[in-house]
Amino acid sequence: MAIQWFPGHMNKARNEIKEIMPQMDVIIEVLDARIPYSSENPMVATLREGKPVIKILNKADLADPKMTQTWKDYFEQENGVKAIAFGNDKAAEVHRINELCKKLVPHKVGADKQIKAMIMGIPNVGKSTLINVLAGRIVAKTGNEPAVTKAQQRIKLDDGIMLYDTPGMLWPKVENENSGYRLGATGAIRDTAIEYEEVASYTAEYLLHAYPELLKARYKLDELPESDWEFVEMAGKKRGCIRGGNQIDTYKMSEILINELRDGIIGRITMETPTMREEEEIMVAGL
């Protein structure tokens, strides 16, 4: 599944970030804990200029806790990178971001000093929600279609930290087809751009291998089939997705599977592992 992103918007965002990056002390990169690889923006690594990065594994309430820990350990192998997981109950925990900023940029701590932190994230990872919790008030619009021409925002936090919200819209891993499926499955890509049956079969294939017990339990199946499409048909039959008299409505079942995955109803699921990331990076580089 190819993802469309507009080159004009990508260039604009890149230029704006390039311009303010030199002033920044630390980068706060918001990721979706279910897809920590595909929800990265490739620019963060290239424009980082060796600055410390705090990776937020957001929506961790929907992700597999064991995998979230695996990703955290994996990310922290890199120098200057720290990772924290957040779920729906962020309010009590966000002070950890301030603490980490101060730890990572100790020379900017103290009276008359200010840490400049840039917050970055592709649409729908929960960046606006996090900004509002950090600010303790509504400063960013949440849950809406992302605005493309958004002005640079500065938000003063306690503890001498100035948060810079990145202008423009960051794109996800557009060059990797597998990422396209996983971004579609988790809802990072809008519904009009996804092909439900294709995304459902990709999702079923992954879940059959990574979370078979959750599939069995949710769709009340004693045994699982080998192939993704057989699973969609089997679950569709079980769910009564029938059309034209006795045909299984695979489109309807595909929608059910994706919506239940997005809502966390199947269980806490992570769609990517660090191994997949490394293998796919090699594959994409070779294209």
Does the footprint of ligand GDP cover residue 41 (CB under 6 A)?
A: no
Q: Toward ligand GDP, which CB reaches closer, 47 or 139?
A: 139
Q: Does residue 5 contact residue 14 with C-beta atoms inside 8 Å?
A: no
Minimum CB distance to ligand GDP, residue 133 (Å): 9
* Binding flag, residue 129, ligand GDP (CB under 6 A): yes
62 sits near ligand GDP (criterion: CB under 6 A):
yes
CA distance 57 to 36: 7
Q: Examine residue 55 and tell whether it contacts ligand GDP (CB under 6 A).
A: no
Does position 142 bind ligand GDP by CB under 6 A? yes
| Cα(128)–Cα(121) distance, integer angstroms | 9
Q: What share of the chain is helix, strand, coil (3-state, %, to 5)?
A: 45, 15, 40
Please identify, using beta-carbon distances, which residue of 86 and 219 lies nearer to ligand GDP: 86
Measure Cα distances from 283 to 222, 252, 277, 287 in Å. Answer: 36, 33, 10, 7
Of the pair 27, 125, the CB lying nearest ligand GDP is at 125
275 belongs to the binding site for ligand GDP (CB under 6 A): no
Q: x/- string (CB under 6 A) for ligand GDP, residues 177-216?
A: ----------------------------------------
Mind giving me the DSSP string for 33-93?
A: TTSTTTTS-HHHHHH-TT--EEEEEE-TTTS-HHHHHHHHHHHTTSTTEEEEE--TTGGGT
- The 89-128 site mask, x for binding ligand GDP (CB under 6 A), equals --------------------------------x-xxxxxx
Q: Which is nearer to ligand GDP, 51 or 59 (CB)?
A: 59
* Distance of closest approach, residue 146 Cβ to ligand GDP, in angstroms: 5
Residues forming beta bridges with residue 270, ordered by sequence position: none
In whole angstroms, how close is the CB of 86 to ligand GDP at the nearest point?
Answer: 6
Please list, in sequence order, all residues whose beta carbon lies within 8 angstroms of the beta carbon of residue 279, skipping any fewer than 6 positions away: none
- Closest distance to ligand GDP from the beta carbon of 134 (Å): 12
CB 97 within 8 A of CB 69: no
Q: Specify the residue, 46 or 142, whose C-beta has the smaller distance to ligand GDP.
A: 142
Q: Is 87 one of the binding residues for ligand GDP (CB under 6 A)?
A: yes
- Tokens, residue 68: 């979230």
- Whether the CB-CB separation of 178 and 161 falls below 8 Å is answered with no
* 67 forms part of the interface with ligand GDP (CB under 6 A): no
Residues at the interface with ligand GDP (CB under 6 A): 58-59, 61-62, 86-88, 121, 123-129, 142-143, 146
